Amino acid sequence: MREKPLQYCFGPVQSRRLGVSLGVDLVPHKTCTLNCVYCECGRTTLLTDEIKEYVPTKDVIQELDSILRQNPLLDVVTFSGSGEPTLHSGIGTIIDHIKSNYRYKIAVLTNGTLLWNKDVRRRLYNADIVVPSLDAATESTFKKLCRPHISLTLNTIIEGIAQFKKEYGGLLILEIFIVPGINDLLPELQALADAARFIQPHRVQLNYLDRPGTEQWVKKARVVDLTTYAKFFTPIPVDIPGTPLYRVLELSLPLKEMILATIERRPSTVEDLAYSLGKETHIVEKILDELTQQGIVKYYDEARGRFYRKL
């Protein structure tokens, strides 16, 4: 169990739509129903479908209260992180608590694999935005890309997301992560588009690799190709995020802690961090150099630049 049930993030991938976001991670690092080849948080260490109280719900609420009572300048509290948030049985209680006591919107970024379960669906009813992902609509590609827990089948997942859309009153955005050579082939795109039309989300978001994935062979899709793929999903509106719009979350954390909290969740370049935290690159670079020398972070070089990760 992690020391702190909450982690702070500074604009997740969906931040173009979600605005300034407080990220809440309810399960231990890389506890997930999937082990996606493109996961930017690394390989899943606990592949499970067990729904339980991974961290005490009351502790999460207490910690959230200590932050939200300060009226931080944020638009949304986002349940996401480096694992699957609906694995936590207390997510509904936590969402309801925030809705009853604060003015912030709530978003849940989920891999959608547990929405076949009516208790899980009910827990998310009070969220304002739910973003389930669906990266494949054929069983073989689903297994290749997402390497699911043995109990999961694709049809059940698609039906679960569609059922949730029928019952849920908020905004539902279906996220599809495109991995070139795997799910961008014509039959795969057609199957994905058919599944999306069955689910009837308000919008589809086509996503692509921004940071190194779990498997080295995963390549970044070209934005120009995503624009072509968007046409498959007619009449559903499709978003293609550009460079994520990071904004500073005004919490009273020292810069060093904000940097560590960010790279613990997602490896980042100096430029990513400087932009997301609203600081000069040389200031961020200096702190990262110190942290590297202290053995707290390490870096590795990728096509997009030098990425720093917390050890």
Quick one: which of 12, 77, 84, 107 contacts ligand SF4 (CB under 6 A)?
84
Work out how close the CB of 32 gets to ligand SF4 at its nearest, in angstroms, rounded to a whole number: 3
Nearest in space to 72 (alpha carbons), one of 108, 20, 25: 20
Quick one: which of 111, 141, 183, 268 contacts ligand SF4 (CB under 6 A)?
111
Work out how close the CB of 54 gets to ligand SF4 at its nearest, in angstroms, rounded to a whole number: 14
Quick one: which of 36, 51, 191, 288 contacts ligand SF4 (CB under 6 A)?
36
Q: Which stretch binds ligand SF4 (CB under 6 A): 32-40, 156-164, 240-248, 269-277?
A: 32-40
Contact 116, 145 (CB under 8 A): no
CB of 132 or CB of 287, closer to ligand SF4: 132
Quick one: which of 26, 41, 199, 259 contacts ligand SF4 (CB under 6 A)?
41
Q: Which stretch binds ligand SF4 (CB under 6 A): 35-43, 98-106, 230-238, 268-276?
A: 35-43
CB of 34 or CB of 152, closer to ligand SF4: 34
Quick one: which of 13, 32, 157, 173 contacts ligand SF4 (CB under 6 A)?
32
Build a one-symbol-per-residue string for 174-213: x at contacts with ligand SF4 by CB under 6 A, - elsewhere: ----------------------------------------
Residue 35 interacting with ligand SF4 (CB under 6 A): yes
Residues that bind ligand SF4 (CB under 6 A): 32, 34-36, 39, 41, 44, 82-84, 111
